[in-house]
C-alpha cells in the first residue's frame, strides 16, 4: 500500500500500489498520477487541473486534455505531490 497525500486537501491516503488513479476519502477529489517530462518524477495531481508545478524540479507542466494510463505512473511509483499552477 502506498501512503500518498491528496493534492487538494493534503490529507494522507492509503492507496493500492497498482492504482493509476483514486478518489480522496476526505474531499472527494479525483487524483491521477503523472510523470514530469523534465525530471521523470511521478507525482499525484488533480484531474481537474490543466497545469501543475512539479514538486521536484519546480517547472510548469501542462497536462494533456485527454491522458491515458501510463504503466509507470502508478501509486507505488509516486514520489511527490504536484502543486497547483499558478502557485498560490
Mean model confidence pLDDT for the chain: 91
Structural domain that includes position 65: 2-84
Distance between CA atoms of residues 11 and 59, nearest Å = 24
Per-residue pLDDT reduced to its tens digit, 37-63: 999 999 999 999 999 999 999 999 999
Give the mean pLDDT of 77-88.
Answer: 88
Strand order in the sheet with 80-81: 21-23, 30-35, 42-46, 80-81
Name the domain count of the chain: 1
Distance between CA atoms of residues 4 and 28, nearest Å = 15
Q: List the one residue out of 20, 29, 35, 62 whose CA is nearest residue 47.
A: 29
Q: Cβ–Cβ contacts within 10 Å for residue 81, how many?
A: 18
Its pTM stands at: 0.86
pLDDT of residue 86: 87
Per-residue pLDDT reduced to its tens digit, 13-40: 999 999 999 999 999 999 999 999 999 9
Amino acid at each position: 500500500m502506498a501512503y500518498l497525500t491528496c493534492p487538494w486537501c493534503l490529507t494522507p491516503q492509503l492507496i493500492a500500489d497498482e492504482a493509476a488513479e483514486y478518489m480522496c476519502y476526505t474531499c472527494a477529489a479525483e487524483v491521477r498520477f503523472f510523470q514530469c517530462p523534465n525530471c521523470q518524477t511521478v507525482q499525484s495531481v488533480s484531474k481537474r487541473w490543466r497545469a501543475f508545478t512539479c514538486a521536484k524540479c519546480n517547472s510548469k507542466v501542462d497536462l494533456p486534455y485527454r491522458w491515458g494510463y501510463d504503466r509507470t505512473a502508478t501509486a507505488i511509483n509516486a514520489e511527490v505531490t504536484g502543486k497547483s499552477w499558478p502557485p498560490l
